[in-house]
């Protein structure tokens, strides 16, 4: 690098170029990933306070042909910026509903929806036709949304949510407590479930405030007749605190990691892998 700093700037520019090129390449690969069968689903169990599995959350995975597994934290934002989340989200929902239709009818399936799916296309129409195709009882489908959906355009979002609810599906508010004005959003729509974000669960040990926050969320849920699910449960200490406080369900590595459904063969009445 030259002493006047120009060289440093050029290096910075080259680095930016490389990052932009890498992003474009990854986006191009993501475009064909669906067609190439590189996307698949993992299923993470949710248990009630007695330890029985009551549902699974579908989580998308991408096995890139050269780069191996790419985490959702990396490719979901890319899919959202490019609009690819619309066909990908539709595929996830179809795949998850088809799979869940073969399980005992006491076990529900939770599927994540991106805010972009609320902005583009006909979301309730898409969900309706997948429910018909899969013959899944709509009450067994739980759609997980985040506050950012409501933040975009509250009246449009709540009208879409009402149409979704009229199909008979359940709506869960994901990552609760991490957004800006969580409490006011609870007024705007009758959610069936609130998922306490894992960051609060993970802070339980070190931070007494997070215990108070969880207690308040559980109390709120009780008063508003919403189920409370805690995510990110990794230890028995967390488990016992959360069940004592009155959470209705638990999700986390302690209950089970996200895996191919065959690994939960016993729970969903499938044949176990050889
Ligand atoms: P999320 O919806 O909050 O999903 C929970 C994430 O927490 C998952 O990460 C899960 O593997 C992880 N997790 C659950 N329990 C534990 C635990 O005890 N310990 C730890 N360390 N992690 C735990 P994952 O699968 O990497 O997904 C990350 C995010 O990507 C999801 O967060 C969701 O926002 C998004 N995502 C995943 N699949 C889809 C999808 O099909 N559609 C959309 N729109 N987004 C998805
Ligand atoms: Ca989720
Ligand atoms: Ca979450
Ligand atoms: Ca999340």
ipTM: 0.98
CB of 201 shorter than 6 A to ligand 1: no
Ligand 2 midpoint to CA 25 (Å): 27
Q: pLDDT digit string (tens) for 86-97?
A: 999 999 999 999
H runs (alpha helix) in the chain: 6-33, 72-82, 85-100, 115-119, 123-134, 147-152, 154-166, 182-188, 198-203, 208-223, 236-245, 265-268
CA of 101 to the centre of ligand 4 (A): 25
Measured from the CB, is residue 145 less than 6 Å from ligand 1?
A: no
Q: Is 112 in the pocket of ligand 1 (CB under 6 A)?
A: yes
DSSP 8-state secondary structure symbol assigned to residue 259: B
* Contact indicator for 105, 137 with CB cutoff of 8 Å: yes
Least confident of 44-53, 109-118, 174-183: 174-183
User: Which ligand has the shortest distance to the CA of 41?
Assistant: 1
Give the residue whose CA is nearest to atom 26 of ligand 1.
Answer: 72
Which ligand gives the minimal distance to the CA of 46?
1
Ligand 1 close to Cβ of residue 253 (< 6 A): yes
- For the stretch 12-51, pLDDT in tens is 777 878 888 888 999 999 999 999 999 999 999 999 999 9
Ligand at minimal distance from the CA of 251 is 1
Question: Among 2, 36, 8, 43, which Cα is nearest to 256's?
Answer: 43
Name the residue among 189, 152, 184 with its Cα closest to residue 171: 189
Q: Which two tokens stand for residue 28?
A: 């191009």
The pTM is what? 0.94
């Amino acid at each position: 690098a030259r002493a006047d700093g120009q060289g440093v700037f050029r290096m910075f520019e080259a680095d930016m170029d490389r990052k932009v090129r890498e992003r474009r390449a990854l986006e191009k690969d993501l475009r064909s990933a669906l067609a190439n069968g590189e996307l698949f689903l993992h299923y993470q169990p949710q248990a009630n306070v007695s330890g029985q599995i009551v549902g699974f959350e579908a989580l998308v995975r991408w096995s890139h042909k050269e780069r191996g597994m790419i985490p959702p934290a990396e490719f979901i934002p890319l899919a959202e910026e490019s609009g690819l989340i619309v066909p990908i989200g539709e595929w996830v929902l179809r795949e998850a509903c088809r799979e869940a239709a073969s399980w005992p009818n006491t076990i529900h399936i939770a599927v994540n929806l991106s805010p972009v799916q609320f902005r583009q296309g006909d979301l309730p129409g898409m969900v309706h036709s997948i429910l018909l195709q899969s013959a899944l009882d709509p009450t067994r489908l739980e759609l997980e949304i985040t506050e950012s959906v409501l933040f975009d355009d509250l009246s449009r979002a709540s009208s879409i949510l009402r149409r979704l609810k009229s199909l008979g599906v359940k709506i869960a508010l994901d990552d609760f407590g991490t957004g800006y004005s969580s409490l006011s959003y609870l007024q705007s729509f009758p959610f069936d479930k609130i998922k306490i974000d894992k960051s609060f669960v993970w802070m339980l040990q070190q931070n007494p405030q997070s215990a108070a926050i969880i207690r308040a969320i559980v109390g709120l849920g009780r008063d508003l007749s919403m189920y409370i699910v805690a995510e990110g449960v990794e230890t028995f200490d967390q488990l016992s605190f959360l069940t004592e406080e009155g959470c209705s369900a638990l999700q986390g590595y302690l209950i089970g990691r996200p895996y191919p459904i065959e690994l939960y063969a016993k729970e969903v009445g499938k044949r176990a892998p050889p």
